[in-house]
Amino acid sequence: MNFFINIKSLLLIMLFATVNFNVWAETYNYHADVKGMVCAFCAYSVSKNVSKLPGVDADSVNVDLKGGSVTFRSKEKVEEKKLAELFGESGFAVSNLTVTTNVVASKKLAKKPSLELQIDIFKVDQLTGVIEAIGNIAASTPSRLVINAPLTQEDIVLKPLLMGRQQVIKVRFVPTEEEIIKVQLFDAS
């Protein structure tokens, strides 16, 4: 009888421990200095490349043009050599990499966009001013843009958003097969 009670207790403890480890995950927080970035398009290039690394939370990538730095979170360790190669391919130099770890809840709350726009890919030329205006809003407020569009439209949409800007705009481009460009602006919190 005591044997079965001990087994039940052990199973409950194991279940509780497993649930706790699945809900909480260790996160690596990275900060590095970056030399060579001069505009928002550079920052986008860096953000895009960093977000492709395994385990990196794409929404956490933050590039500071004025301060010349990048910060991001990852569920996996990122080797300094790999990061240096990645930045080198983009024409930038990374230095002073620091890594801290902490335990954070992995659960994310869904957010609705404060602005959403759908553009037919054949009408992008007519809406360049609108795209620039969205860029102005994104640059002047703490926000992030998510753009879903065919890969062939990436530069066409990003140029009016980013080119020549000194303010960083957090942008994530998601390639799709549809002939629609979907621009979503989310308030950062």
Query: Checking DSSP bridges between strand 143-149 and strand 170-175, what pairing results, if any?
Result: parallel
More confident position, 41 or 74: 74
pLDDT interval class at 25 (50, 70, 90): low
> Counting Cβ atoms within 10 Å, is residue 34 exposed (0-12), middle (13-18) or buried (19+)?
buried
Contacts of 184 (CB under 8 A, 6+ apart): 113, 115, 116, 117, 145, 146, 147, 148
For range 25-37, the mean pLDDT: 86
Mean pLDDT on 177-185: 93
Q: Which residue has the tokens 């009408």?
A: 123
The one-letter amino acid code at 4 reads F
Taking a C-beta distance cutoff of 8 angstroms, is the pair 176, 118 a contact? no
Q: What is the pLDDT of residue 151?
A: 93
CATH no. for 23-105: 3.30.70.100
Residue type, 187: D
pLDDT band at residue 104 using 50, 70 and 90 as cut-offs:
low
Q: Would you kindly state where each structural domain of the chain is located, as residue ranges?
A: 23-105, 115-187
Q: What is the CB neighbour count within 10 angstroms for residue 83?
A: 19
Q: Which fold has domain 115-187?
A: hypothetical protein PF0899 fold (3.30.2320)
